[in-house]
């Protein structure tokens, strides 16, 4: 397994291009199953979560052609299976989208309960509620396979008890070909929900209201192929914004939708960061010591939980006392132990982290315990004096395209080594 090493202290400078959105790609790829036809999808990020989803589609029988680095042509007409084993789902949380997509196509899905980022318990009761509301029977087998069947899916009103991105997407996937009208109340509003709705509509679906609390879906009998380009990754962009600010850098972050970054931008500005928004890029510049702030994570358009670890890392070296209230996941602060070993002064009490700004962090051996914790460790390494070694970087590979290359292009002293390679190797030698 690889490690990432960083010699901290460099300010990030230059330009970086943001890739397609992971959480949109992992929803749009399974949605292709619904169209018994050929779809060409552009701006697909080269990350291991996407590779895994492509492998699953291939295993189900799809014909897949990689047109270029970020474009795939996928023919789903040849898919003839609705069974996906734990071997395929154990590393991919988003494999739960296969429930909705296979159910919509075949009236059946037999898919193992997924794995994914291990930061806390991740229930799927709201997904199950959506399928049952549409008329499906759901059964968990002894082998942890979720077996879902429906003679016919019938449009109905689904009222979610909590705002859930995954359950909203699964309800949309199952409902687009259901008979009649489905109304999803208390729906999630993330940019990738809107992107999926746009993709489904491009295939001939009739999905209205995505991006609001209420989504209305008029079931159609048939979906056709299309060409579609995925939106830029909000969280990758946010990660580079925070890294630029934390290192007192000057970075132009290109290929973004500034509106999707609003909650991140506002908090950075509150901390004293200069941000200039252009049509499809943002310029981030920071000088001197940044100020403390208080943040509560919440579903979109609130501050995203997936930016929480990166922001806490920046706040670890800001002036005064900051507070982070994690409202989406029960406990997503495991990574703080690594930051404190690097010299941060952060205490947690349930869902709240209290961050006392320190003057310096010191390099250490740390781990990417999950995807965003891994991003936080990179930012910590950029800030720390000396060398930081990050282990378990396969978590980072799940969601960041060429993370080492992109940070190096901004002037970071960062490199990657394989497990059996001596870690004293310098960047230039790799």
Contacts with ligand EPU, 381-410, as mask; x by CB under 6 A: ------------------x-----------
Instruction: Locate 4 and state its tokens.
Output: 């990432």
Q: Provide, rounded to whole angstroms, the least separation between the CB of residue 202 and ligand EPU.
A: 20
Q: Are 203 and 249 in contact (CB under 8 A)?
A: no
167 touches ligand EPU (CB under 6 A): yes
Q: Provide, rounded to whole angstroms, the least separation between the CB of residue 132 and ligand EPU.
A: 12
Residues 39-98 that bind ligand EPU (CB under 6 A): 93-94
Selected binder of ligand EPU within 165, 196, 223, 361 (CB under 6 A) = 165
Selected binder of ligand EPU within 103, 109, 117, 223 (CB under 6 A) = 117
Going by C-alpha positions, the residue among 345, 367, 369 that lies closest to residue 356 is 345
215 touches ligand EPU (CB under 6 A): no
357 touches ligand EPU (CB under 6 A): no
Q: Provide, rounded to whole angstroms, the least separation between the CB of residue 4 and ligand EPU.
A: 17
Cα–Cα distance measured from residue 390 to residue 373, given in angstroms and rounded to the nearest whole number: 11
Q: Provide, rounded to whole angstroms, the least separation between the CB of residue 399 and ligand EPU.
A: 6
Selected binder of ligand EPU within 314, 371, 393, 412 (CB under 6 A) = 371
234 touches ligand EPU (CB under 6 A): no
Q: Which is nearer to ligand EPU, 182 or 263 (CB)?
A: 263
Selected binder of ligand EPU within 8, 30, 114, 166 (CB under 6 A) = 166
Is residue 125 classed exposed, middle or buried when 0-12, 13-18 and 19+ CB atoms within 10 A define those classes? exposed
Cα–Cα distance measured from residue 389 to residue 415, given in angstroms and rounded to the nearest whole number: 10
> Which residue's CB comes closest to ligand EPU?
166
Cα–Cα distance measured from residue 150 to residue 108, given in angstroms and rounded to the nearest whole number: 6
Bridge partners (DSSP) listed for residue 286: none
Instruction: Locate 214 and state its tokens.
Output: 């209420």
Cα–Cα distance measured from residue 262 to residue 272, given in angstroms and rounded to the nearest whole number: 15
Could you write out the DSSP letters of every residue in 274-321? EEEE-SSEEEEE--SPPPP-EEEB-STTSB-GGGHHHHHHHHTTSSSE
Q: Which is nearer to ligand EPU, 31 or 286 (CB)?
A: 31
126 touches ligand EPU (CB under 6 A): yes
Query: Active-site residue numbers?
Result: 117
Beta-carbon neighbour count of residue 142 at 10 Å?
A: 5
Could you write out the DSSP letters of every residue in 304-369? -GGGHHHHHHHHTTSSSEEEEE--SSS---TTHHHHHHTT-EEEEETTEEEEE--S--B--EEE--
118 touches ligand EPU (CB under 6 A): no
- Residues that bind ligand EPU in the complex, under the rule CB under 6 A: 23, 26, 93-94, 117, 122-127, 162, 164-167, 188, 305-306, 328-329, 371-372, 399
């Amino acid at each position: 397994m690889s490690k990432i090493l960083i010699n901290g202290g460099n300010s990030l400078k230059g330009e970086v291009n943001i890739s397609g959105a992971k959480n949109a790609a992992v929803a749009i790829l399974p949605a292709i199953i619904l169209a018994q036809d050929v779809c060409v999808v552009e701006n697909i990020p080269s990350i291991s979560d996407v590779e895994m989803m492509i492998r699953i589609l291939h295993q189900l029988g799809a014909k897949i052609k990689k047109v270029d680095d970020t474009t795939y042509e996928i023919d789903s007409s040849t898919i003839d299976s609705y069974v996906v084993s734990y071997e395929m789902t154990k590393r991919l949380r988003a494999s739960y989208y296969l429930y909705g997509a296979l159910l919509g196509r075949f009236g059946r899905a037999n898919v193992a309960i997924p794995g994914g980022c291990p930061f806390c318990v991740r229930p799927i009761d709201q997904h199950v509620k959506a399928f049952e509301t549409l008329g499906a029977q759901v059964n968990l087998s002894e082998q942890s396979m979720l077996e879902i069947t429906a003679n016919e899916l019938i449009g109905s009103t689904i009222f979610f008890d909590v705002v859930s991105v995954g359950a909203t997407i699964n309800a949309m996937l199952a409902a687009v070909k259901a008979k009649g009208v489905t109304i999803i109340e208390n729906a999630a509003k993330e940019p990738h929900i809107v992107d999926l709705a746009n993709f489904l509509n491009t295939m001939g679906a009739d999905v209205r209201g995505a991006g609001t609390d209420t989504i209305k879906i008029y079931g159609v009998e048939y979906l056709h192929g299309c060409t579609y380009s995925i939106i830029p990754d909000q969280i990758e962009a946010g990660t580079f914004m925070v890294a630029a600010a934390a290192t007192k850098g000057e970075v132009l972050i290109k290929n973004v939708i500034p509106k999707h970054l609003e909650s991140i931008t506002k908090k950075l500005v509150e901390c004293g960061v200069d941000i200039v928004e252009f049509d499809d890029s943002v310029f981030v510049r920071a000088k001197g010591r940044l100020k403390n702030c208080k943040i509560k994570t919440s579903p979109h358009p609130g501050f995203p939980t997936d930016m929480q670890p990166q922001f806490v890392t920046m706040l670890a070296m800001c002036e005064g006392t900051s507070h982070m209230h994690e409202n989406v996941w029960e406990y997503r602060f495991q990574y703080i132990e690594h930051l404190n070993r690097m010299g941060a002064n952060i205490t947690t009490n349930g869902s709240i982290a209290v961050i006392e700004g320190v003057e310096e962090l010191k390099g250490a051996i740390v781990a990417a315990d999950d995807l965003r914790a891994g991003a936080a460790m990179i930012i910590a390494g950029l800030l720390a004096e000396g060398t930081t070694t990050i282990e378990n970087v396969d978590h980072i590979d799940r969601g960041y395209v060429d993370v080492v290359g992109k940070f190096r292009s901004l002037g970071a002293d960062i490199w990657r080594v394989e497990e059996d390679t001596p870690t004293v190797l310098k960047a230039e030698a790799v």
